[in-house]
A and B are shown apart, each in its own frame.
Chain A
Amino acid sequence: TQLLEQSPQFLSIQEGENLTVYCNSSSVFSSLQWYRQEPGEGPVLLVTVVTGGEVKKLKRLTFQFGDARKDSSLHITAAQPGDTGLYLCAGGTGFQKLVFGTGTRLLVSP
């Protein structure tokens, strides 16, 4: 069974702070996606990375796929209350299945 462990599980910060969320596995994935989920809703895709070492930026969010395609990170610069939510990484196995990480719950206070 392929597992994706995310850390930290919970993160409570003040507006304007920077943070990094990690997604780690011992397995190699063909792609890595990051989703954000708000209460009472389904997850929504933020980004997909497919190449080892790839870095993608989405405004204040920076996503990186590890060189060996086993891990990924999400860095948020100058966090805002609107960034509050559950962040999920998901690894593509190439067999029509996505393996989801355990999730990181982020709370950004004004």
Chain B
Amino acid sequence: NAGVTQTPKFQVLKTGQSMTLQCAQDMNHEYMSWYRQDPGMGLRLIHYSVGAGITDQGEVPNGYNVSRSTTEDFPLRLLSAAPSQTSVYFCASSYLVSTGELFFGEGSRLTVL
């Protein structure tokens, strides 16, 4: 079972460059989300989606864009990378969020120089 698949696993960018982190799930989950994980700060929600065509902002959305054209895919776009966006990014999916289990990908480690 693939579950939640994130690519790439590692990426180094220069300040100002743009890139897209890919996320795909094969569990037919309606809910998908992106988190960033920084030391001592746990996981912070960037953007989330409750279904195809529906997205909303989380706690730290600035500098990131998302779209949800299919149930399976939820890409995260960095428009103009900044050193403050150096982090580990996790994509997660679920049937229901408030009581349902979140299934996470293995993470994408991004370094912005």
List residues of chain A with CB under 8 Å of any chain B CB.
1, 4, 6, 9, 30-31, 33, 35, 40-45, 48, 50, 88, 90, 92-103
B99 close to A100 (CB less than 8 A): no
Can you list 20 A-B pairs, Cβ within 8 angstroms, ordered by A? A1-B59, A9-B40, A31-B98, A41-B106, A42-B92, A42-B107, A43-B104, A44-B104, A45-B101, A50-B99, A90-B43, A93-B98, A94-B98, A96-B56, A97-B45, A97-B58, A99-B45, A100-B43, A100-B44, A103-B40
B41 close to A102 (CB less than 8 A): yes
Interface of A is mostly: loop
CB-defined contacts of B102 to chain A, threshold 8 Å: 33, 35, 43, 45, 90, 98
- The number of residue pairs between A and B whose CB atoms lie closer than 8 Å in the complex comes to 68
User: A107 CB to closest chain B CB, in angstroms?
Assistant: 16
Which 3 A-B pairs have CB atoms at the shortest separation, nearest pair first? Answer: A42-B104, A92-B98, A100-B43
CB-defined contacts of A96 to chain B, threshold 8 Å: 31, 48, 50, 56, 97-98
CB-defined contacts of B104 to chain A, threshold 8 Å: 41-44
Q: Does B35 contact A (CB under 8 A)?
A: yes
CB-defined contacts of B90 to chain A, threshold 8 Å: 42-43
CB-defined contacts of B4 to chain A, threshold 8 Å: 42
CA distance A26 to B46 in the complex (A): 23
Q: 0/1 per residue, B1-42, Cβ < 8 Å to A?
A: 000100000000000000000000000000100010000111
Q: Does B75 contact A (CB under 8 A)?
A: no
